[in-house]
Structure 1
Amino acid sequence: MSRSRARTAVTVTLAVALTAVTAACGGGSSTDSEGTNDNPKELTYWASNQGTNIAHDKRVLTPELKRFEKQTGIKVKLEVIPWDSLLDRILGATSSGQGPDVLNIGNTWSASLQATGALLPWDKKNMAAVGGAKRFTPSALAAAGAPDKAPAALPIYSLAYGLYYNKKMFKDAGIDEPPATWDELIEDGKKLTRDGKYGIAVEGGDPVENSHHAFILGKQHGADFFDPSGKPTFDSPGAVKAVKQYVDLIAAEKIAPPGNAEYAKRESVRDFATGKAAMLMWQAAATSLKSNGMKPSEYGVAPIPVQARGSGEKGTRSMVAGINLAVFKNTDNIDGALKFAKFMTSDKQQRHLNKAYGSIPPVRSAQSDKAFETPDLKVLRDVLTTASAPLPQVEDESKFETLVGKATKDLFADAAAGRKVTTESVKKELSAAQQQMRSQARR
């Protein structure tokens, strides 16, 4: 999922809101990429960690950047930054005026970073330089900034949540198909929790993962976490139901292990891949599962279960996940940055890069490739286009991820410690998060 000329007051507010935010839905090289670039034949690029590790990203990106240099004569200085430090680096660049020309951001941060005024707006003129807005899927573009403004970034990798399930463990438990509703997930999870193994793995120590699941389940319960004016509604009845339902995977239902309350570094993916848990709710996990030794034939992918079979927002199965490409508004190499954005969103590069990362091209014309017709990606692409919703594109969205995510983390910790998690305790945590956000907004 940034810019060099935002005002200090705005930056301080964002720093409070964003510091704890990591990403959708993970350091760097030794390249010195600090400082604005005044060389028209050079760009600095901060890439987010999309692969299994930093070295993987360098192997994927370096040949492509050399290809860009050969085509344009513009050298790209690459730094791959892990998710747990990317936002701090962006905010430091925003306040100091020293940063890259182009960088990746989590798409859920788009509106918050857009509010600093430091991102290049993709108005009609700039959008024309990359072929126009119609090239991008509407759902991906909807997660690129506030709806009443020009997009703050361009989508380059699209992701969606899916329910991954272990085929053998399901068969051994006598389960013929993946659950379609939450009640079915709990029922199946209890059948699968046996012999030291659990029905599902969760990443309870990661505030961002927590906030994503709170949002998805919240939509299923009719909660938006913000009212139409942008004010937080973190402790609405639907939001409380959503967070409790998620935490209850450990607390009440006991189909996820208590130790998962501390997971924050993709440990849940590892546990699923190694057969310690039979289900996992994750974004485009194929690459990570492969790196953990799990073969595609060993798992299936289905949409995240809903509360009841139906449609509309209560049938939401994912947030619109993905990575966007942004440009510093005051870069000294705007022409080179636009050329690089065009290159990264070209059909050829979209096919190549999204294949490498197991993600979905947000450029529609790049999706016609057999690589994106695998069983898992077909499910995720359908979810993305028919059953997903963007996280609220409001200035305070990042605070939602930080504060609601941490509140959920604390509730998971309570569950793991044997403390009872009730509707009242969930509401208390969410009310405190809401009050904290309002206090920050008044500063």
Structure 2
Amino acid sequence: MRRTRAAAIGAVVISLLATATACGGGSSADGGSNESPKTLTYWASNQGPNIEADKKALEPELKKFEERTGIKVKLEVVPWSDLLNRIMTATTSGQGPDVLNIGNTWSASLQSTGALLSWDDKNFEKIGGRDRFEESALGSTGAQGQDPAAVPLYSMSYALYYNKKMFAEAGITKPPATWDEMVATGKKLSKDGKWALGAEGSNLSNNIHQVFVLAKQHGADFFDAQGKPDFTSDGAVAAVKQYVDLMATHKIIAPGNAEYAQNQSLSDFAKSKTAMVLWQAAASTFKSQGMDASKWGVAPVPVQSGAPGQGRNLNSMVSGINMAVFKNTKNADGAMKFVEFMTSDEEQKILCKTYGSIPPVKAAQSDPAFDRPELKVLRDTLATSAAPLPQVPNESQFETVVGTAVKNLFATAAGGGAVTTESVKAELTKAQQQMPKQ
């Protein structure tokens, strides 16, 4: 999944998930498909640098779909800060779109509402078959053992982006491969009003993505084998502390980053205010902010030791966007045709080139555009050293409460307060207490 969500969503999501029923989709109040079988509503997630950029990218493709099928698609690009809340409201009110994008980490949570169409073999056959998609991408489409609640649309992984000029000026010849190297490199770069690493302390989803990976590197998960929250294990605590310590102890992240939200760390990087940033498929955003591709390099996210791989050397979550259909859409045939169109080899090449993502459709990856050095790092990471976030019904609440715990700890660090093992564990204990009882 990309981008962030507001902290206030947490209580809303917990309440809505507890009461949601399978009643969403196709509402005339939202211009849904019961107006006409030749009309679909589509909520797209904000993938580009801004909403207008997404409209510019998507509208020609939607026009192409209309010319081929006679079905008009009413597009709304929804910011990440609003998307989950909008979706959850739609599942309870019945006033929602026919087709929508979801962050892949939300798949199991939204699946548990019963509002989304299930992608059984019969439905997959309508869009060319399940085996067209990368297995790693399908791993983030719903709870294990159940038919997926969505299909993969854009695949991404995290990478370390670095400023070549700033590295050269500091006498640094290669990007850090381990976290110890990150700290050592970072101290050389954090000077003269500039900082080594960008972060977004108020971006709850990004906080989760970083500490999930670090927890894996410490041999921990945030849920046990039964899907119950386990936020206070030694490994989870160590992971959160290690991330926040990049600001609190090592001082290679600017204190002001504690308040940063969606894309602010990317803006600083593009303006050479920071030398590194950990992000997923960032090339299009850098380009939109005037940073030429020749000015930055890309490398795998650091690990504790050795090289990226499975087990404790995982260095990314399986990131991406899925496409879902509300179960009771009044235009099921049209919705299926639209999903087929958006996941076609042709459209996958067009859209993933635009957004700098990896096509989850295997045949589309043959395009030479996806062999660029940056995308090769992302592809290799997805193939060899990435894991999906927990596919459990309460995953979205986990992102909110643990993401907020990390946000609070960054705020403490920015204010000069001590971030200790005990204070980290206290924040995570509070977060776990906010999870729904199972």
TM-score, scaled to structure 2 = 0.93
Code of the residue aligned with 2:437 in structure 1: it is A
Q: 1:316 aligns with which of 304, 311, 314?
A: 314
Could you tell me which residue of structure 2 aligns to residue 346 of structure 1?
Answer: 344
Q: 2:186 aligns with which of 175, 189, 192?
A: 189
What CA deviation, in whole Å up to 9, does each residue of 1:136-175 have, x standing for no partner? Answer: 1111110000111011001111111000011111111111
Partner SS, residue 145 of structure 1: coil
Partner SS, residue 37 of structure 1: helix
Could you tell me which residue of structure 1 aligns to residue 206 of structure 2?
Answer: 209
Code of the residue aligned with 1:45 in structure 2: it is Y
Partners in 2 of 1:64 and 1:436 — Cα distance?
43
Code of the residue aligned with 1:404 in structure 2: it is V
Q: 1:13 to 1:271 in 2, by over 3 A?
A: closer
Could you tell me which residue of structure 2 aligns to residue 159 of structure 1?
Answer: 156
Could you tell me which residue of structure 2 aligns to residue 307 of structure 1?
Answer: 304
Tell me how far 1:312 sits from its aligned partner: 2.4
Q: 1:355 to 1:435 in 2, by over 3 A?
A: same
Could you tell me which residue of structure 2 aligns to residue 37 of structure 1?
Answer: 34
Q: 1:71 to 1:176 in 2, by over 3 A?
A: same
Tell me how far 1:249 sits from its aligned partner: 0.9
Decide whether the 8 Å contact of 1:17 with 1:399 is kept in 2. Answer: no
Alignment of 1:244-255 (within 5 A): 244-255=241-252
What CA deviation, in whole Å up to 9, does each residue of 1:224-271 have, x standing for no partner? Answer: 100010100111110001000000111000001100000002111111
Tell me how far 1:58 sits from its aligned partner: 1.0
Could you tell me which residue of structure 2 aligns to residue 131 of structure 1?
Answer: 128
Unaligned stretches of 5+ in structure 1?
Answer: 2-10, 19-30
Could you tell me which residue of structure 2 aligns to residue 441 of structure 1?
Answer: 437
Partner SS, residue 323 of structure 2: strand
Tell me how far 1:436 sits from its aligned partner: 1.3
Tell me how far 1:370 sits from its aligned partner: 1.7
What CA deviation, in whole Å up to 9, does each residue of 1:200-244 have, x standing for no partner? Answer: 111111111101101011111111100010100111110001000
Decide whether the 8 Å contact of 2:215 with 2:238 is kept in 1. Answer: yes
Partner SS, residue 100 of structure 2: strand
Partners in 2 of 1:226 and 1:36 — Cα distance?
39
Q: 2:398 aligns with which of 397, 400, 418?
A: 400
Decide whether the 8 Å contact of 2:16 with 2:88 is kept in 1. Answer: no
Partners in 2 of 1:34 and 1:12 — Cα distance?
25
Alignment of 1:415-434 (within 5 A): 415-434=413-432
Could you tell me which residue of structure 1 aligns to residue 222 of structure 2?
Answer: 225
Q: 1:259 to 1:424 in 2, by over 3 A?
A: same
Code of the residue aligned with 1:430 in structure 2: it is L
Partners in 2 of 1:34 and 1:71 — Cα distance?
22
Partners in 2 of 1:38 and 1:216 — Cα distance?
45
Unaligned stretches of 5+ in structure 2?
Answer: 2-10, 19-27
Tell me how far 1:16 sits from its aligned partner: 6.1
Decide whether the 8 Å contact of 1:13 with 1:441 is kept in 2. Answer: no
Q: 1:12 to 1:204 in 2, by over 3 A?
A: closer
Code of the residue aligned with 1:383 in structure 2: it is T
Q: 1:369 to 1:35 in 2, by over 3 A?
A: closer
1:359 aligns to 2:357 (yes or no): yes
Q: 2:175 aligns with which of 168, 174, 178?
A: 178
Q: 1:281 aligns with which of 278, 281, 284?
A: 278
RMSD: 1.6
Tell me how far 1:15 sits from its aligned partner: 4.4
What CA deviation, in whole Å up to 9, does each residue of 1:53-94 have, x standing for no partner? Answer: 111111111111111111111111111111111112111111
Could you tell me which residue of structure 1 aligns to residue 236 of structure 2?
Answer: 239
Decide whether the 8 Å contact of 1:182 with 1:305 is kept in 2. Answer: yes
Code of the residue aligned with 2:301 in structure 1: it is I
Could you tell me which residue of structure 2 aligns to residue 268 of structure 1?
Answer: 265
1:108 aligns to 2:105 (yes or no): yes
Could you tell me which residue of structure 2 aligns to residue 28 of structure 1?
Answer: none
Tell me how far 1:393 sits from its aligned partner: 0.3
